[in-house]
Structure 1
């Protein structure tokens, strides 16, 4: 049962980086590709239908970690408390930018919230790299470490590339690139590689520090039957808003 839950946790974390990763990547690219108001609106509109569905993966990752690896919860919250708080604030800032950017009109209002989206996406991307480095070192290093910052830069670049690939799939040719669904899948796997690498190295530790078998059995009965619903909803979103559908004509996030 420990191996099954490790596989579930790995799939959830990889799914978060592969799916929410392109949302963060598009946010990172707003100052680069969104030189005009129309382009920024199109970039946000491209990812808008996927944002809420993709964020569910992070909730699932947190719930699984706290349920399956209860000892890890204390290490994460204690050792990475400032980083976790900073990442939560960046998450709130990014989502606030998505929701509020069209509540009023005017270049100053739009510019402020577009900057909030970009800054929040940057903070989350760098923060994830630092968190992965801390996890790889057994949470023995301080949250701010040169190698952690370097990994944060790597994660940021990977997510930006993934976001660019997503734009090439969702809005073919508009931002200088056209990509197929297979290429988008490949870039999603590449975006998840840092997380997969850390989990691969931490596999013996996680298996050893899993929750008791009785707890895992209860979690299996309560959680695993819901998994098909989560996956089915994700498939529905992707089929409904795939390229060629009229929904992407919306100028912004609503």
Structure 2
């Protein structure tokens, strides 16, 4: 059971980086892809149907940690608390910007929400890189510092942005699409870039997790026997819903959404 729990933890963590990385990366580049209010609405419409479903994978990661690896979860929360604050703050700010963008009074409000989406997306990406820097450098239970932490955070954020660009080339139309395609390059098919960055982003939490030895911090067998079958059922539902959403919104966006 502990092996299955570990596999689920890896799946959820990698799933968040790959799936949420697409909407976070696109949000990071909102000022570049959308130069006027209409273009920015189109860019937001490209990832708006996905971001809530993608966030579920991060919640599931935290749930598996708390339920199946409680000792590890407590140690990580305590040791990485300074890193989790900007990550959660970025998450909240970005979601507030998305949810309230179409509900405020006028153009200035929407511009402020666009800033919140961009700033929150950058905070999420940089904090994720900072969080990964600690285990990747062999000190997983305290925040990484110095040039290594800065370089890792910037590299991971750049990877998020590249992933968002690949996603944008599959979803956008018109001038925003041309801007994304210009940076991605015109060699090969549009999905090649997204596939490459998905592999790289999905591998990051696996590489970082290998230094944590979560198997040695697993809950007692009775708890795992109770939780793992439930988690397997939840996972099947999550995958099914995710596949349905991506199929439903598989076409390129041609008009703004309600956001």
For structure 1, the 5+ residue unaligned runs are none
Using the TM superposition, give the Cα deviation of residue 196 of structure 1 relative to its aligned residue in structure 2, in angstroms. 2.2
1:73 alignment counterpart: 73
Using the TM superposition, give the Cα deviation of residue 253 of structure 1 relative to its aligned residue in structure 2, in angstroms. 4.5
| Other structure's SS at 2:169 match | helix
Is residue 236 of structure 1 aligned with residue 244 of structure 2? yes
1:11 alignment counterpart: 11
- 1:64-91 deviations in whole A, cap 9, x for unaligned? 1111211111112211223212221111
Alignment equivalent of 2:223, drawn from 204, 215, 218: 215
Is residue 21 of structure 1 aligned with residue 21 of structure 2? yes
| Other structure's SS at 1:35 match | coil
CA contact (8 A) 2:75 2:141 kept: no
* 1:72–1:126 Cα change, 3 Å: same
1:142 alignment counterpart: 143
- Higher mean Cα deviation, 133-142 or 60-69? 133-142
| Other structure's SS at 2:60 match | helix
Query: Aligned pair count?
Result: 249
TM-score by length of 1: 0.90
* 1:140–1:9 Cα change, 3 Å: closer
2:196 alignment counterpart: 186
Task: Output the aligned Cα RMSD.
Answer: 2.0
For structure 2, the 5+ residue unaligned runs are none
| Other structure's SS at 1:242 match | coil
CA distance in 2, matches of 1:54, 1:110: 24
CA contact (8 A) 2:28 2:121 kept: yes
CA distance in 2, matches of 1:96, 1:49: 15
CA contact (8 A) 1:34 1:43 kept: yes
CA distance in 2, matches of 1:198, 1:139: 8
- 1:123-181 deviations in whole A, cap 9, x for unaligned? 11111111112234343443544312211111110010000000101125642227544
Is residue 41 of structure 1 aligned with residue 41 of structure 2? yes
CA distance in 1, matches of 2:205, 2:99: 29
* 1:122–1:145 Cα change, 3 Å: same
* 1:23–1:172 Cα change, 3 Å: same
TM-score by length of 2: 0.88
